[in-house]
Amino acid sequence: MGESGTASSAGLLAQLESTALAATREAAIACQDFVGRGDGKAADGAATNAMRAELASAPGTGRVIIGEGEKDEAPMLFNGECVGEGGALSFDIAVDPLEGTSLCAAGMPGALTTIAIAEAGSLWEPGAAFYMDKLLARGEARGAIDITDTPEANLERVAEALGKAVTDLRVIVLDKPRHEELIERLHAAGAHVSTPSEGDVGGALQVLLPRGDADLLMGIGGTPEGVMTACAARALGGVMQSRLAPQEDDEKQALEGTDLERVLELEDMVDGDSFFVATGVTGGLVAAPRREDGWNVTESMVVAAGSVKRVIEHTTATERNAKDSGHATDGGEDS
C-alpha cells in the first residue's frame, strides 16, 4: 500500500471529497448542451475539460492511474497525467469523465460523470489493457463467485448464498455482440438479464447499493470502469473478480506475454482506502442537472467506507466553480 503523506483515510476524504464532487458536478453541467444532440465525443470533451479544470485546484498531487478515452479515440485524462496544486498529499485517480457517452448523445438515461480517488500507490495499473472481464456480487455472495467457472455454476452458487432460486436472480450484462452467448446461457439457466447498451459503473452500482435491485454483474467492459467499480465494491463490502480480456488487435499485440488467465481479486485492484463519486448527466440512477430559479441543481453519489450518500448541490450559473456552494445531503442510502 502506498503512502498518502501524513493524511489518514479520514483526512484523505476530508481534503479530497469536495474536489471530487466539484469535478463530477462541473463535468455533468458541461455535458448538458450536448445531451440528445448526437455528438458523444463533443460531450466527452466538454466533461473532460471541466473535470481537468477542477482537479487542477486539488490539494496535493494526484496521478491518473487509469483514464478513459484512448480506447475510444475520445478526449481523455490520460494515464500518468498529474493534477493538483502540489504539496505533501499524494493520491491515485481512476476516472471516466463521461460514462455512457452514447447515452448522453442519444438523450437516454444512465450517463454519469465518474471518478475514484485512493491512497497513492493503491490502485492497479492496467498499462495497455483497455478491456477486462468482470464478475461482481454483493457481499453476501462472498466465496460464491469464480470467474474461471461457467456462468451457470456461478448462478447456482450465488443463488444459494443469497437464499434465492436462480430464477429469481437478476444479472447485469452489457448489450454487446461479444456477450450474445453469455446472455443466451443466462436466459437458458432461468435468470433475469438486464442488458443496458452502456453503463458498466451504473450496472455495478445496481448490484452494490443497499437498495440495488441486481444480484450480479458479468461480462467484458472497460478497465477504468473496472477499477472504479472495485473502489465502490471495497467500500461497500462487495466481492469482485476480473481478468484481462483484450478486444482489438492493437490491444492484443500490446499485451503479448501478459498472463491473460490471471484472476485479479478485489484487493489486487485496490488495496488502500478509496472513495468513488458519480454525478448524474441524463437521469436514471442519479438525477440529471436542472435549472431552478437561476441555480444549477445537481445530484451526486459518494461511496466511501461502508456508506453511500446523495449530495444535492445548488451552484449559480455565473459562479459554478465556487468552492463554497451550498449543498444538502439526503442520507437516504447510508449503509
Give me the residue spans of the domains in the chain.
9-121+275-329, 131-269
Q: Residue 325: pLDDT above 70?
A: no
If we measure between CA atoms, which residue out of 68, 54, 63, 51 comes closest to residue 91?
Answer: 63
Which of 86-90, 223-227, 310-314 shows the lowest per-residue confidence on average (mean pLDDT)? 86-90
Residues 6+ apart with CB under 8 A from 22: 54, 321, 323
Cα separation of 6 and 2, whole Å?
A: 12
Asked if 117 contacts 22 with a C-beta cutoff of 8 angstroms, the reply is no
Tell me what pLDDT residue 194 has: 97
Count Cα atoms within 13 angstroms, Cβ side, for 281. 37
Q: Residue 273: pLDDT above 60?
A: yes
**Topology given in CATH for the domain delimited by 131-269:** D-Maltodextrin-Binding Protein; domain 2 (3.40.190)
254, exposed or middle or buried, with CB in 10 Å at 0-12, 13-18, 19+?
middle
Tell me what pLDDT residue 242 has: 98
Tell me what pLDDT residue 74 has: 45
> Cα angle vertex 166, ends 161, 170, to 5°?
90
Cα separation of 18 and 21, whole Å?
A: 5
Bigger pLDDT: 6 or 297?
297
Asked if 214 contacts 104 with a C-beta cutoff of 8 angstroms, the reply is no
pLDDT tens for each residue of 96-147: 999 999 999 999 999 999 999 999 999 999 988 999 999 999 999 999 999 9
pLDDT tens for each residue of 28-62: 999 999 999 999 999 999 999 999 999 999 999 99
331 — pLDDT class (breaks 50, 70, 90): very low
Tell me which DSSP letter residue 123 carries.
B
Report CA 250 to chain centroid distance, whole Å.
25
175, exposed or middle or buried, with CB in 10 Å at 0-12, 13-18, 19+?
middle
Q: Residue 191: pLDDT above 70?
A: yes
Tell me what pLDDT residue 68 has: 64
Residue 34, sorted as left (phi over 0), alpha (psi -120 to 50) or beta, turns out to be: alpha
Residues 6+ apart with CB under 8 A from 275: 12, 13, 16, 17, 20, 116, 117, 118, 231, 235, 302, 303, 304, 305
State the maximum Cα–Cα separation within the chain, in Å, rounded to a whole number: 58
pLDDT tens for each residue of 147-175: 999 999 999 999 999 999 999 999 999 99
If we measure between CA atoms, which residue out of 259, 251, 206 comes closest to residue 232?
Answer: 206
Cell 445548488: give the residue: 314
CATH of domain 9-121+275-329: 3.30.540.10
Over residues 66-70, the mean pLDDT reads 68
Query: Could you count the other beta carbons within 10 Å of the beta carbon of residue 46?
Result: 23
Tell me what pLDDT residue 333 has: 54
pLDDT tens for each residue of 275-299: 999 999 999 999 999 999 989 999 9
pLDDT tens for each residue of 228-261: 999 999 999 999 999 999 999 999 999 999 999 9
> Cα angle vertex 92, ends 333, 312, to 5°?
30
Asked if 288 contacts 280 with a C-beta cutoff of 8 angstroms, the reply is yes
